[in-house]
Amino acid sequence: MGISVGTSTVSMPDSERPYPTLLAFLVGRFPKITERTWLERITSGKVLSEDGTPVSLTTAYTPNQRLFYYREVAEEPVIPFQEQILYSSEHLLVACKPHFLPVTPGGPYVSETLINRLKESTGNMFLSPINRIDRGTAGLVLISANKKTRGLYQQLFMDGMVQKTYQAVVAFPGDTDKTEWLVENRIEQGEPWFRMQTRRGKINARSKIILLKTKGSRALLQLSPLTGKKHQLRIHLSGLGLPIVNDRYYPTLLAKTIDDYDLPLQLLSKKIEFQDPISGVEMSFESKRDLTL
């Protein structure tokens, strides 16, 4: 059984009266979780009220208040790779995560996530990711260590004030003389829901790509996303005919299989640079990992 070291949150909206019981609300809000599971969570004290006290089956539904619960999965895969903490202060933690480790809980992953591993190792239950990268991507993640200053770092990303540099190993046809690309297009949610796709319309995704070196049918690229759309780099490279090695989503969605740890997605969040919003100091962090041809 995998159990989160921190709580997840759900808000109770001001719905039509009569208000539902807490059990009925939770079952309706999370249809993939059985009534029996929520019943066991409530009776074992794993669902908490706004003030942190456990609720019971007779606790009244309170609109515009929050419930906190501990997310659980019956069987959780163990990721046999370790994250590294590169920097830690009162306000900020910078970690380098390995391939295959998700940043936050989702699907079958609860404890085996970057954020929950770090909460456990540091004892700081207020850790919260400022940026996120795909489970298959390795590299740098900025994490807020202080909820009072979290918004200052989040605003840097919202304002485009963070310079991010990635590495990727791609399939390279060798029939082009180009060494630099600027890709600009529109990316929206596709089908299935976890994939993205390009559409006509106002540009919302821009990436600068530089060829570093080639070897046989592969190339090492430096990538600078100028915007931050989901799967942006993977889609832009696929659209250029330069798919990332071991990408199971683009250009073709492959059948779901268990992870093959010998075939990680060849994408790395290598470097992050920004001006610290509190100290004003120019900050630069670089992963010790590298991709090789």
Residue 193 is predicted with a pLDDT of: 86
How long is the chain? 293
Cβ 241 vs Cβ 235: under 8 Å: no
Residue 221 is predicted with a pLDDT of: 98
Q: Shortest CA distance to 223 belongs to which of 142, 160, 170, 164? A: 164
pLDDT tens track for 2-50: 666 667 788 999 888 899 999 999 999 988 889 998 999 999 998 999 8
pLDDT tens track for 178-197: 999 999 999 999 999 899 99
Answer whether residue 132 shows pLDDT above 60.
yes
Q: What percent of the chain has pLDDT over 90?
A: 81
Residue 43 is predicted with a pLDDT of: 94
Alpha-helical runs (H) found in 109-191: 114-122, 150-158
Q: How many CB atoms lie within 10 A of CB 263?
A: 11
Residue 8 is predicted with a pLDDT of: 79
Reported pTM: 0.82
Mean pLDDT of the region 52-80: 88
Residue 95 phi/psi, 5-degree rounding, is -125, 155
Does an H or E element contain 36, and which?
Answer: helix 35-43
- What type of residue sits at position 189? Q
Mean pLDDT of the region 152-168: 96
pLDDT bucket at 109, cuts 50 / 70 / 90: confident
CA-to-CA separations, 269 to 139, 202, 280, 284, 289, in angstroms, rounded: 4, 27, 24, 13, 9
Answer whether residue 254 shows pLDDT above 70.
yes
Q: Measured between alpha carbons, how far is 269 from 52 in angstroms, rounded to an integer?
A: 37
